[in-house]
Structure 1
Amino acid sequence: MFDVDSLLTTFGLAGILLIIFMETGVLIGFIFPGDTLLFTAGIMAASDNPFAPLWALCLFIPLAAAVGDQVGYSLGKHYGPAALQSRVLNWIGPDAVTTTEGFFHRYGSVTVLFARFVPVVRTVTPLVAGIARMPHATFTFWSVLGCFAWGAGITSLGYLLGGIAFLRDYLDLIILAGVTAVLVPVIIKVIRMRRHAARERRDMATRLTLGTGEHPGSVTDDAE
């Protein structure tokens, strides 16, 4: 959808920082290829005429991501469930929210850290954390840690490994494989949770029915 090289060449460091901020700050950055963007930025930082030095990328990209997380958290905290009804989230789809909630259920607060490495999920995570009223200090700790691990990490990988043709050409597939390895167990967990909830509802309905005496044996007993 986007020519990452042209985007970086045209807008430079300011452009990449704006995109990284928007991903969680205004919930629309998910349309950009975030991981590829960082990796490509690292590759271009290693060129003879870099658009920005590596140290600047590794410092300001995580900061932009952390600021975006704070805005997303504030949206969730102050607007609550109503934020989930926004047009942007309807565009993203309910599955992203369900998957994110599954991450929180399984991993707790550390979800804020590793969600940074999962496209779309990292867009929704600050919002869900705010809605769930996660302690702000806890959220900030894991957010900053995740932003630096993701922002500086992938950019540095691009800087160090961008010269390897295989990694450069198949980056999207490599990231997809990693994301799949993380998402599949969570999806299975969410399915099991839904099945368990459905069984609980059926059991509750059965108990309520039996409690009112409306069961097959009641008619026979009355007749006797």
Structure 2
Amino acid sequence: MEFFGIDMVQAIKTVGYVGLFGIVFAETGLFLGFFFPGDSLLFVAGVLAAQGFFSLPILLIILFIAAFTGNMVGYWFGAFVGPKIFTREDSLLFRRSHILKAQAFYERYGGKTIVLARFIPIVRTFAPIVAGVARMHYGTFAFFNFIGALLWSVGLTTAAYYLGSLIEDIDRYLLPIIVLIIFLSVLPGIFEYWRDRREAKANGESAMDKR
């Protein structure tokens, strides 16, 4: 199974625990890691654990620590940089539209964003940064971060582990399963876009009626 021309299964076997920690940490804590396939990576790692390549307890601990500390670093980065990040120009590794998307998500859902964003690509990278910029109470952020990291890293990896244990030759089904995971991951974003468009249209029609 390939991602951008890279055999993900072989790549995960090659990088091992240290590489998995680094990738999850980068995706959840550094804005330059937004392009990493976190959901797919966790699923494949869980399947490999079911096949005996990884120790499940060690894998879960490493992934949880990476996810939790990554978001904490993102929060501190946002608190340090402040609102000026919203006016930063686009570059190869930064898109202002991504941070604005995370801001809109944060304004809609508040503290729950830190949990919900875990399951939405790109948003999960920038949500802790926005929370830091907004100066969310540190204890509140840490609490939601703990819950989100637990549900995402431990939950998804464990589900993949048991699925890999139940289905023989699951390697043959990895690609369609990963495609389904990606689809489910982007579905909330599609729904948000559709709802925003509908609200904008309704507001426009309401404004026209008042004239």
TMscore range, shorter length = 0.7 to 0.9
Per mean C-alpha deviation after superposition, the further-off stretch among 12-21 and 175-184 is 175-184
Compute the displacement of 1:136 (Å): 0.9
Q: Cα deviation per residue 1:87-123 (whole Å; 9 max; x = unaligned)?
A: 56x6453332232222222211101001001111100
Kindly provide the amino acid, as one letter, of the partner of residue 42 in structure 1.
G
Return the alpha-carbon distance in structure 1 between the equivalents of residues 201 and 108 of structure 2.
16
1:98 pairs with one of 97, 100, 124? 100
Return the alpha-carbon distance in structure 2 between the equivalents of residues 9 and 54 of structure 1.
14
Aligned twin of 1:113: 115
Return the alpha-carbon distance in structure 1 between the equivalents of residues 80 and 198 of structure 2.
31
1:5 pairs with one of 6, 9, 32? 9
Aligned twin of 1:19: 23
- Asked if structure 1 preserves the Cα contact closer than 8 Å seen for 2:74 and 2:128, the reply is yes
- SS of residue in 1 equivalent to 2:51: coil
* TM norm structure 1: 0.77
- Asked if structure 2 preserves the Cα contact closer than 8 Å seen for 1:65 and 1:147, the reply is yes
Compute the displacement of 1:198 (Å): 8.9
Aligned twin of 1:174: 180
* TM norm structure 2: 0.81
Return the alpha-carbon distance in structure 1 between the equivalents of residues 96 and 177 of structure 2.
27
Instruction: Indicate how the Cα distance of structure 1 residues 93 and 124 shifts in structure 2: closer, same or farther if over 3 A, else same.
Output: same
- Asked if structure 2 preserves the Cα contact closer than 8 Å seen for 1:118 and 1:179, the reply is yes
Q: Which runs of 5+ in 1 are unaligned?
A: 200-224
Kindly provide the amino acid, as one letter, of the partner of residue 17 in structure 2.
L
Aligned twin of 2:208: none
Compute the displacement of 1:193 (Å): 7.0
Compute the displacement of 1:178 (Å): 1.8
Instruction: Indicate how the Cα distance of structure 1 residues 197 and 25 shifts in structure 2: closer, same or farther if over 3 A, else same.
Output: farther
Aligned twin of 2:150: 148
Aligned twin of 1:139: 141
Aligned twin of 2:189: 183
Aligned twin of 1:75: 77
Compute the displacement of 1:5 (Å): 1.5
Kindly provide the amino acid, as one letter, of the partner of residue 159 in structure 2.
L
Is 1:126 paired with 2:128? yes
Aligned twin of 1:215: none
Per mean C-alpha deviation after superposition, the further-off stretch among 4-13 and 181-190 is 181-190
Return the alpha-carbon distance in structure 2 between the equivalents of residues 196 and 135 of structure 1.
35
The structure that has the greater radius of gyration is 1
- Asked if structure 1 preserves the Cα contact closer than 8 Å seen for 2:98 and 2:122, the reply is yes
- Identity among equivalent positions (%) equals 33
Q: Cα deviation per residue 1:157-182 (whole Å; 9 max; x = unaligned)?
A: 22111334685221233123323431
